[in-house]
Chain A
Amino acid sequence: MATEFEVYEHDVLVIGAGGAGLRAAIEAAGSCSVGVVCKSLLGKAHTVMAEGGMAASMGNVDDRDSWKVHFADTMRGGQYLNQWRMAELHAKEAPDRVRELEKWGALFDRTKDGRILQRNFGGHRYPRLAHVGDRTGLELIRTLQDHGIHQGIKFYMENTVVSLVKDGDRVVGAFGYDRERGRFKLWRAGAVVLATGGIGRAYKVTSNSWEYTGDGQALAYEAGAELMDMEFIQFHPTGMMWPPSVQGILVTEGVRGEGGILVNNQGKRFMFDDIPENYKSSTADKEEEGWRYVTGDKNARRPPELLTRDHVARCIRREVKAGRGSPHGGVFLDISWIKEKVPNAPEHIRKKLPSMYHQFKELAGIDITTEPMEVGPTTHYMMGGVRVDPDSQMTNVPGLFAAGEVAAGLHGANRLGGNSLSDLIVFGKRAGEHAAKWAKENGRGTVDQAALAAAEAASLKPFEFGGAAENPYRVQHDLQELMQDNVGIVRVEEEMKFAQDQLQLLKDRAAKVGISSHREYNPGWHTAIDLRNLLLVSEAVTMCAIERKESRGGHFRDDFPAKDEAYASFNLIVKKGEDGQMVMHRRPIPPMPDELKQVIEENK
């Protein structure tokens, strides 16, 4: 039976075609044969939704910026749980990666003297985000796509990978099916790069697309890789709140970077009420100073709306809980007020935030140049993921690499806005480079045919149960509600323990979901397969969130609301134990070299 699979051969196989996957593929294609497998059409990956920009300390707008400041900002934002080596590489290499995009055709917004313009963003000391209005992700993905199609890369669009293929300890390929016909395929490869993004679809309110089902994390876990920092999920403070069908869709931080303010139902600008100690010296305490900052006064400090995302999200929740929220359970984000300061404000807003203008106009019937938006927290980003070597991006499984959101380490307990797009290109490149090197040194390996047959049989199970059995959409829906209500933005032990029990029941239900009809382009079947991954990452998130009995970054415990030094020195790791059960341990953070400690000290 196994011999019937279509078989493809590459030196490097990349799974995922967002920013990290495409950048890895381009790098590897410079020296070997590369295939890219992706669940959607090319150019549709979730990177396309990124709005604000990519962080790189080019210093085009403020020449006081440098990799050192960027490094210190990233570490502070991540509450020092980051893998410092990744934060260092990222800060040092991001400028070159951004400039390289220009060589491939990207057209960033410009400064007056014709260089790449950079904008302010939360947690970044200086204006640092290269951007194209508020559609920077589209520019990134299109640039990589249009460059990539001329590099001899083979793209397998609308294909789903169901398992990684191993030869002993080593990963030697991937096994999956094409969504169009449902035919199984084997991709043999010397090295595999995971670039599958995050896990947002485990939650009900999310800014993430359907593809974000934790595939890479689950594939890696099943192959023996370690997952790290899974308790750290970023809830972006500003998602759309109304109407219900658009709840969760992202409202870019760029709105606040351009001067947008957060206001409660009493008209009060509440972000001034709670400024964390370690940000006091760099945050404005008067509205007037905040405005000077967003309009480029280098001596002004940033407004508190531009504090880190974890903090802003919690302040919004506080306002709502205290009864000071907007009619639909959020708060107000107002950019229209700048008409007091800027001539031609409506035109200025439409130029700076075109897709936000468009999004609210068409989906909510709101004109952001004249009225405030209703916003609230939405599940946005997974800081945790597959643990990788900081330099090569290889996981603890030989031949398996990971880059971008699926990998852990760069962002620690909380990611700064703009550090994601730069993450993709910095570590995408590194993963591609090292995967190519590994593949050339180690060859293809042999494939265990019996494992493929088992993976195929498991994937086809839902057809045996048939359409009368459990509905996969229903299970997914129930999972999303469970995680939203119990392992969401504010967590308590009791609720998470409840979620842990319920997840076991959902697993039982997921094992029995059924599908009618045939394999050709059958979304019910695709959902059934995604479920396994969603459940696995949900289990990992819950287990780690229970274990971390403190509040830090994206992880907030109502029963342990303070940061606890006892939890500052390790990352939580989960992996598949000998008996097949998930096991967890604490991994001490490697000691930081003195010169980096000094960089942090100098930039306090």
Chain B
Amino acid sequence: MPQATFRISRGDSATHGEFKDYAVEISEGMVVLDAVHLVQMVHAPDLAARWNCKAGKCGSCSAEINGMPRLMCMTRLSDLDLSVPVKIEPMKTFPRIKDLVTDVSWNFRVKEKIKKFKPRPADNADGTWNMAQRDVDRVQEFRKCIECFLCQDVCHVLRDHQKHDEFIGPRFIMWNAALEMHPLDTDDRLKELKDDNGLGYCNITKCCTKVCPEHIAITDNAIIPMKERVVDRYYDPLGWLWSKATGT
């Protein structure tokens, strides 16, 4: 059977990490995660990697493959150049725990701080609501998110500038958008988006959209509309005059 070499970054939080090469027998249809499993089985049982569903639905096996943030389970070997070693590294935006596993707990803390869903009173006596499909469509797009955090990984505000304390990243701007555009939600998150969540840091390079394995139009459909809403409310001169004049 043909072989390919996988150059995997190994190390833990205390070490810088070094690349080690592993030769693996490959077969038709294999994805990078299969190769990682073979490495674990044959060469390195202690190689740390996260995975769950192996079908692109859980967002656990995020890594950087030949420098590109991707899900290992959805990257087919047939799409890679196997004449040279395939480089596999952990996500760089988050601290490494071991090998390909990173500490993504920051994301969970960020989410907790975002105001939760607050529905309007029920429309019907039995406690249900009526919503049109066209109104739920746009939010359903955001709810496809599998929280792989690849968009967070690629975003230069986090990756290069380490603004984790001031900027919540594309995933959570989109989460805000999903709540703000939810047909039933009554809360308001624009002030926090502007003041605490660093919406202004995003300069629309669309890298997040490019790496999203769910093909969500993060920038166009979530981030830009949030920026527009913030601008409309806080920076529109006519609106400012109007609110001064009317005292609203």
Q: Which of A48, A49, A516, A525 has the most chain B CB within a 10 Å cutoff?
A: A48
Instruction: Please tell me if the beta carbons of B41 and A474 are within 8 angstroms of each other in the complex.
Output: yes
Interface check A30, CB cutoff 8 A: no
Task: Give the interface residue-count category, chain B.
Answer: 35 or more
Given that A44-B58, A180-B97 are known contacts, is A102 also in contact with B52, CB under 8 Å in the complex? Answer: no
Q: Is A42's CB within 8 Å of the partner chain B?
A: yes
Within 50-91 of A, Cβ neighbours of B (below 8 Å) are at: none
**Contact segment of B28-36, B155-163, B188-196, B232-240:** B28-36
A515 x B127 contact (CB < 8 A): no
Nearest residue, chain B, Cβ from A39: B52
- Beta-carbon nearest neighbor of A515 in chain B: B45
C-alpha gap A209/B29 in the complex (Å): 19
The reply to whether B46 and A138 form a contact with Cβ atoms under 8 Å apart is no
Give Cα distance in the complex from A370 to B17, angstroms: 46
User: Once bound together, how far apart are the Cα atoms of A524 and B99, in whole Å?
Assistant: 14
Contacting residue for A41 out of B29, B60, B133, B185, CB 8 A: B60
| Contact string against B for A residues 77-118, beta-carbon threshold 8 Å, 1 for contact and 0 otherwise | 000000000000000000000010011110101100111100
B27 interface residue, CB < 8 Å from A?
Answer: yes
* In the assembled complex, B205 has its CB within 8 A of some CB on chain A: no
- Residue interface mask B112-139, A partner, CB < 8 A = 1: 1000110100100011111111001001
Q: A41-B50, A524-B45 are in contact. Are A107 and B29 (CB under 8 A)?
A: no
Assess whether A602 is interfacial by the CB under 8 Å rule: no
Contact (Cβ within 8 A) A359 B55: yes
Bitwise interface map of A from 559 to 601 toward B, beta carbon under 8 Å scored 1, else 0: 0000000000000000000000000000000000000000000
Question: Which of the segments A161-169, A243-251, A398-406, A534-542 contacts the partner chain?
Answer: A243-251
Inter-chain contact A109/B133, CB cutoff 8 Å: yes
Shortest beta-carbon distance from B81 to chain A in Å: 18
Stretch from A146-154, A219-227, A315-323 contacting the other chain: A146-154
Q: Are A139 and B143 in contact (CB under 8 A)?
A: yes
Q: Which of B32-69 contact A (CB under 8 A)?
A: 34, 40-41, 45-60
Q: Does B144 contact A40, Cβ atoms closer than 8 Å?
A: no
Q: Is A390 an interface residue (CB 8 A)?
A: no
CB proximity of A507 to chain B, nearest CB, Å: 20
Binds B, one of A305-313, A442-450, A465-473: A465-473
Q: Please, which residue of chain B has its CB at the minimum distance from the CB of A462?
A: B45
Residue B230 at the chain A interface, CB threshold 8 Å: no
Point out the residue from B74, B117, B140 that lies within 8 Å of A363, measured CB to CB: B74
Is the CB–CB distance between B104 and A103 below 8 Å? no
Q: Does A498 contact B (CB under 8 A)?
A: no
Closest CB in chain B relative to A374 CB, distance in Å = 12
Query: How close is B64's CB to chain A, nearest CB, in angstroms?
Result: 18
Out of A157, A180, A211, A520, name the residue touching B52 (CB < 8 Å): A211
A467 touches B57 (CB 8 A): no
CA distance A463 to B101 in the complex (A): 22
On whether the beta carbons of A114 and B132 are closer than 8 Å, the reply is: yes
A–B complex contacts, Cβ < 8 Å, 16 sampled? A41-B108, A48-B52, A49-B58, A107-B131, A110-B136, A113-B130, A146-B117, A209-B52, A243-B28, A245-B31, A245-B34, A246-B54, A359-B56, A474-B41, A522-B48, A523-B46
Question: Which residues of A are interface residues toward B (Cβ below 8 A)?
Answer: 40-46, 48-49, 99, 102-105, 107, 109-110, 113-116, 132-133, 135, 137-139, 142, 146-147, 149-150, 157, 180, 209-211, 242-246, 249-250, 354-355, 358-359, 362-364, 467, 471-474, 477, 515-518, 520-525, 527
